[in-house]
Amino acid sequence: MSTLLLAESGSTKTDWCLIQKNKKPLQFKTSGINPYLQSEDDILSLLKNELNLPKKTVIDRIAFYGAGAGSDVKRKELTRALKKRFDTKKIDVESDLIAAARSLCGANKGIVCILGTGSNSCYYNGSQIKEKQASLGFIAGDEGSGNHMGKRVLQYYAYNTFDTELHLYFEQQFGKDLPAILHKIYREPFPNRYLAGFTKLLIENRGHFMVENIIEDCLNDFFHHHILKYRQSWKLPIYFTGSIADAFKDVIEDICNQYELELGTISKSPIDGLIKYHKQAN
């Protein structure tokens, strides 16, 4: 097998793996890459500054899976940035949904869901995506994601919905200068990452009724607007990947039971499954 540089990227982080024949895979992490939120030059700068591969490494092929890589235009932007950074012509750029499907399903059919900083879903037939719900991004969509839950946390704080306990927790963790918070959302890069950071309040205060309500409401929104729209969801397993899916897997399981849906695997990241997939493919 030739030397493959594998990448799986969301808006917050990118998992990289260098796969070489007869060697243990080497894994790396960088900041997230999303062509809807970064210019081609920004992506190239990130690759140069954050991705430190072993010296004299010769890359024969790159397989890059990323959020925002679902359109031809954005795939071309990512391909150009990768070509400028690496001396290789064999570059395959695919969406994060394909990454999740190949990682979780392999050659099996299923409904594949991403719940991380953002959210997405599809019906995968074992080899390709056959049906996909619209993804409206962090402003108009992202139901069930960290971004979505983070917005709800901020609203509960700003509108004085939280009780004293959670109100004080928010201020201790994120400050109480609301204009400064709004500046980060509306004037600084990666507002979706920033909003997703508010989910720390949910993760660290499980059991509080307001916290459980936010988690359940946001995940129910995802099921209602996405999963239940696939007729295949009633007869195929539902697979999940992403930090939010991993953090709140118990709630996902409960909702699947309520709707009498079959729950498949829940993973924090697709990278391990992708490494297995590409080893078998090569």
User: Which residues lie across from 263 on neighbouring strands?
Assistant: 238
pLDDT of amino acid 24? 87
The pLDDT-based confidence of 166 (bands split at 50, 70, 90) is very high
State the Cα–Cα distance between residues 244 and 32, nearest whole angstrom. 16
Domains of the chain and any CATH numbers: 4-100+271-281 (3.30.420.40)
- Residue 186 tokens read as 């509306």
Percent of the chain, pLDDT > 90? 78
Which residue has 């709004």 as its token pair? 182
pLDDT, average across residues 188-210: 96
SS3 helix, strand, coil % of the chain, rounded to 5? 50, 20, 35
> Which is more confident, 140 or 236?
236
The pLDDT-based confidence of 141 (bands split at 50, 70, 90) is confident
pLDDT, average across residues 60-83: 91
pLDDT of amino acid 281? 67
